[in-house]
Amino acid sequence: MKIFVYLATGKVSSALVSKLVLAGHEVFAGSRSPDKITKKERLHAVRIDSQKPTEGLEVLEKVDAAFLIVPPTVVDGYSVLKPLIEKAKTVQLRKFVLMTAMGVNYAPTEAPLRKLELTVEASGLQYNILRPNWFMQNFHTFWISGILKDQKIYFPGGNAKTSFIDTRDISAVASELLTSNQFTNQAFDLTGGEALTHDEVAAKISKATGKKIEYVDITSEAFQQALLAVGLPTDYVGFLAFIAGILKSGGATPVSESVYSITGKSPITFDEYATDFKAKWDNH
């Protein structure tokens, strides 16, 4: 198959590109920085920019399927991806997979991500919607500063449990759905196989690294100030604070069987994730 992958240098998309190429598919990897994509057989880097959403759409004329994802820090994913969905309808794309976030289906219909999902469902094309929970990988990216500096995880999560998912499992699910019609026109919540508190997460990272990592339950205001201080856009910071509040209220606790039912493999555990990425927390 010929498959377009949006935001191809991101965590989920980059792993998806590798899986698809390894499986023998021809992949068109979309990025605003196509020069960062390693040239290899069956892999084509194409320029497409979320800040210019009506440009580069012709790539969909060359492919059978597409993976769409809202770029990080973008709150209005509807405006960014709607032109791609409209182009997909024009060329009668065989299949596309859209990734949003767990809980979006309960959001008001005018919320950008929910509006995006409804647009996909009404497109008349074959689709799947993936709604992953919070990423395990956030602990060595978004929350890495506090861990390296103070050996602390600063997050306003209270004592709520979260069924964190490894982004590699999201990529595996997307790969299966893009290349199969078995689950067509279905939406899936994607989670890990267990729900953990942030204290339990801190203990697991401590065990993997040999350090004493602790969780600090900060206020939403302190959380937002820290994110603004590192340069994240105000509207995106507000969005993160909102979904952190949902997590704190228990909205991210449920565990789904979707990863296993689609891939035939159990989700990666947090212990496995922490072991695989322990070098990320080594600041020596």
> What domains appear along the chain, each with residue ranges and CATH number?
2-132 (3.40.50.720), 133-165+191-253+262-284 (3.90.25.10)
> Mean pLDDT throughout 35-61?
91
> Mean pLDDT throughout 260-284?
94
Which residue's entry shows tokens 């296993």?
A: 260
Mean pLDDT of the chain: 95
> Mean pLDDT throughout 147-156?
96
| Number of residues that this document lists for the chain | 284
Output the pLDDT for position 107.
Answer: 86
Q: Does the pLDDT value for residue 172 go beyond 80?
A: yes
Q: Does the pLDDT value for residue 171 go beyond 60?
A: yes
Spatial CB neighbours of 110, under 8 Å, sequence gap ≥ 6: none
> Mean pLDDT throughout 235-241?
89
Chain segment 56-85, per-residue pLDDT in tens: 999 999 999 999 999 888 889 999 999 999
Instruction: Name the pTM for this structure.
Output: 0.95
Extract the tokens encoding 123.
């497109």
> Mean pLDDT throughout 33-58?
90
Output the pLDDT for position 119.
Answer: 96
Q: Does the pLDDT value for residue 267 go beyond 90?
A: yes
> Mean pLDDT throughout 93-111?
93
Output the pLDDT for position 74.
Answer: 86
pLDDT band at 257 (very low <50, low <70, confident <90, very high): very high
> Mean pLDDT throughout 138-146?
93
Q: Does the pLDDT value for residue 284 go beyond 60?
A: no
> Mean pLDDT throughout 166-195?
97
